[in-house]
Amino acid sequence: MIHETDAADIPALAAELRTALLRAARRLRVERSDEEISAGQLSVLGFLHREGPSTPRAIAAFERVRPPSLTRTLTALQDLGLVERVAHPHDGRQVLIALTGAGHAAVTLTRSRRDAWLAQVLSGFSPVERTALATALDVLRRIADS
């Protein structure tokens, strides 16, 4: 267990982080329970919820997937009635993806259910640990973006 880090520990920290990250993500992905929305789909819905209507390209860049992969996700979400494709006002090549009313509702609802167990786990941690986790959030984001 590492609780202090200096330069020499960075490779060890990297190795441990990689394993812990993969295992935690796997655990998270399994927690879709009985619901029909996948973790990736929910992430896209959340992005649209925060950012408003966006182009597939912008969403794909944020999600770190290739455009064809996102097309699939969007088609699935559209079939569920959660997003809609609307024409871009100025550029005929582009498409704007927007949440439908059901999409907005789904974000709130699914999140509250999906995050329930995670919030439960987090509530078992000490305030110090949660604060550390909040700081680590930024680190995780920068890892994703690097």
Partner DNA sequence: TATTGTTATACTCTATAACTATA
Partner DNA sequence: TATAGTTATAGAGTATAACAATA
Contact positions vs DNA (CB under 7 A):
26, 30, 38-41, 55-57, 64-76, 85, 88, 90-95
> How far is 97 from 56, CA to CA, in rounded Å?
7
CB of 77 to DNA, least distance (A): 10
Distance of alpha carbon 81 from the chain centroid = 20
Largest CA distance in the chain: 55
Distance of alpha carbon 18 from the chain centroid = 18
Q: Which regions of 55-128 does DSSP assign to beta strands (E)?
A: 83-87, 95-99
Distance of alpha carbon 86 from the chain centroid = 23
Q: Which is nearer to its own copies, 29 or 88 (CB)?
A: 29
Out of 8, 34, 36, 64, the only residue in the binding site for its own copies (CB under 8 A) is 64
Q: Is 111 in the site for its own copies (CB under 8 A)?
A: yes
Binding track over 83-102 against its own copies, x by CB under 8 A: --------------------
CB of 2 to DNA, least distance (A): 24
